[in-house]
């Protein structure tokens, strides 16, 4: 049975995704990650977050992928979030066991490249460069975060640590546009 999964990344990866699909051989942001592609399953997220409708489950999975994209923006030059809606067969999906806090939260993975034909929708956010310090503040002390931060980036992250910014505030600042997926010949 095919169903929807969501993946969040930064716009630095958009051109490659549009040409090659989503590869599992990319640089990872987490030191516990393997050679899989990490996804948020709408059904899994819906169960974990007690979503009452399929639409609510899809929205929550999209939001989780968006948050993953915020983390990817820390290491990006193009500080826009990209969220992919991907249609995959259930039989290929595995629980995300890369770390104990991932399994059971709706996180899943697949250990192969996702073809462009499997990507059904791509959304890209507005530029979030002004929030990069906030994203850094949220992750800088996470022992599994595997991005080398410069001294300046660490200082900016420290400055944002006490900022009263909440996930809902970030959601209100994000504007989404659709990306045209090239037709496959």
> pLDDT for 28-43, tens place per residue?
554 445 678 889 999 9
Residue 36 counted as domain residue:
yes
H-type alpha helices, the chain: 14-20, 42-48, 54-74, 132-139, 151-160, 167-173
Residue 157 counted as domain residue:
no
* 3-state SS class at 119: strand
pLDDT band at 123 (very low <50, low <70, confident <90, very high): very high
Distance CA 84, CA 63 (A): 11
Contact 156, 139 (CB under 8 A): no
Distance CA 182, CA 86 (A): 15
Q: Is pLDDT at 157 greater than 80 in this prediction?
A: yes
User: Taking the model in full, what pTM does it have?
Assistant: 0.91
Residue 72 counted as domain residue:
yes
Distance CA 82, CA 71 (A): 11
Q: Is pLDDT at 91 greater than 90 in this prediction?
A: yes
Count of beta carbons in the 10 Å neighbourhood of residue 81: 27
Identify the domain containing residue 25 by its residue range.
2-131+143-149
**Mean pLDDT of the region 162-179:** 92
What would the two tokens of residue 114 be?
A: 């996702």
Residue 32 counted as domain residue:
yes
* 3-state SS class at 161: coil
| CATH number for the domain harbouring residue 54 | 3.20.170.30
Residue 64 counted as domain residue:
yes
Residue 182 counted as domain residue:
no
What would the two tokens of residue 110 be?
A: 């697949």
pLDDT band at 147 (very low <50, low <70, confident <90, very high): confident
Q: Looking at the 3D structure of the chain, how many domains does it have?
A: 1
Q: Look at residue 141 in the predicted model and tell me its pLDDT.
A: 76
Contact 47, 112 (CB under 8 A): no
Residue 84 counted as domain residue:
yes
Residue recorded with tokens 């939260």:
105
Q: Look at residue 31 in the predicted model and tell me its pLDDT.
A: 43
Distance CA 92, CA 141 (A): 33
Residue 43 counted as domain residue:
yes
């Amino acid at each position: 049975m095919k169903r929807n999964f969501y993946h969040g990344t930064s716009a630095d990866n958009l051109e490659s995704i549009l040409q090659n699909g989503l590869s599992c051989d990319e640089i990872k942001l987490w030191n516990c990650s393997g050679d899989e592609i990490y996804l948020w399953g709408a059904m899994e997220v819906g169960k974990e977050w007690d979503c009452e409708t399929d639409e609510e489950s899809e929205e929550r999975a999209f939001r989780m992928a968006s948050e993953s994209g915020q983390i990817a923006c820390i290491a990006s030059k193009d500080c826009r979030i990209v969220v992919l809606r991907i249609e995959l067969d259930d039989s290929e999906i595995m629980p995300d066991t890369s770390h104990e806090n991932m399994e059971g939260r709706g996180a899943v993975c697949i250990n192969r490249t996702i073809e462009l034909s499997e990507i059904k929708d791509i959304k890209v956010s507005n530029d979030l460069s002004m929030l990069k310090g906030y994203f850094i503040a949220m992750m800088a002390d996470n022992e599994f975060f595997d991005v080398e931060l410069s001294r300046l980036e660490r200082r900016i992250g420290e400055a944002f640590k006490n900022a009263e910014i909440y996930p809902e505030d970030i959601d209100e600042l994000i504007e989404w546009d659709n990306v045209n997926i090239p037709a496959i010949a």
